[in-house]
């Protein structure tokens, strides 16, 4: 008997972190030296660099042929 709902197992959590690793990046607001900065992070959460504005951070992401994504 075959199971019509047979699905392959879900990837482990570490695999989810790798999804989009070379395709997306996100911006997170942070404080650096008592000033608000917009930190660019890779898909796996690695902080890359900070910018003085979100617009500049998103522009830098696009210049590196990545897609900026929002996180909530």
Residue 44 lies in a domain: yes
Q: What does the pLDDT look like over 8-57, one tens digit per residue?
A: 555 555 555 555 567 889 999 999 899 999 999 988 888 999 999 999 99
Residue 1 lies in a domain: no
Residue 12 lies in a domain: no
Residue 3 lies in a domain: no
Range of the domain at 25: 19-69
Q: Are 17 and 45 in contact (CB under 8 A)?
A: yes
Burial of 27 (0-12, 13-18, 19+ CB in 10 A): buried
Q: Does the pLDDT value for residue 69 go beyond 60?
A: yes
Q: Considering its fold, how many domains does the chain have in total?
A: 1
Burial of 8 (0-12, 13-18, 19+ CB in 10 A): exposed
Residue 23 lies in a domain: yes
pTM of the model: 0.68
Residue 26 lies in a domain: yes
* Residue 4: alpha-carbon gap to chain centroid: 35
CB atoms within 10 A of CB 67: 13
């Amino acid at each position: 008997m075959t199971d019509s709902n047979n699905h392959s197992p879900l990837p482990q959590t570490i695999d989810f972190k790798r999804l989009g690793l070379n395709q997306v990046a996100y911006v997170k607001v942070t404080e650096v030296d008592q000033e608000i900065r917009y930190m660019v992070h890779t898909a796996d959460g690695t902080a890359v660099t900070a910018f003085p504005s979100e617009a500049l951070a998103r522009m830098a992401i696009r210049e590196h042929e990545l897609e900026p994504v929002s996180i909530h």
